[in-house]
């Protein structure tokens, strides 16, 4: 089975956008040591293979406040929640 990976730039910004909506700064987490470069790259790659891209973009467009959780079905939920807990 071949997995189609989406555009790297699109998913890089989606990964950062979900984090931002959750009140997270991935750049600061990376430089603060709570997020490794490998995990960050893995988050973007996982997002690139996600089947819920349109649902995620819709969720992002509806967020007016900080959310405690990522969108339903997010493939990076565990990492986002771990970072939020460490935040």
DSSP run (H or E) holding 13: helix 8-21
- Is residue 19 within 8 A of residue 80, CB to CB? The reply is yes
Query: What backbone phi and psi angles, to 5 degrees, belong to 76?
Result: -110, 15
Tens-digit pLDDT profile for residues 53-77: 999 999 999 999 999 999 999 999 9
Q: Give residue-wise pLDDT tens across range 13-39.
A: 999 999 999 999 999 999 999 999 999
- Per-residue pLDDT tens over the stretch 2-11: 678 999 999 9
| Res. 42 pLDDT band, cuts 50 70 90 | very high
Cα separation, 35 vs 43, in Å, equals 10
- State how far the Cα of 43 lies from the Cα of 56, in Å rounded to an integer: 14
């Amino acid at each position: 089975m071949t997995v189609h990976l989406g555009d790297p730039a699109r998913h890089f910004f989606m990964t950062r956008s979900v984090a931002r909506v959750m009140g997270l700064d991935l750049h600061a987490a990376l430089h603060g040591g709570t997020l490794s470069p490998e995990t960050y790259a893995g988050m973007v790659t996982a997002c690139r293979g996600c089947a819920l891209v349109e649902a995620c973009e819709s969720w992002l467009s509806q967020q007016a406040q900080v959310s405690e959780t990522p969108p339903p079905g997010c493939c990076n939920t565990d990492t986002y929640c771990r970072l939020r807990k460490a935040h």
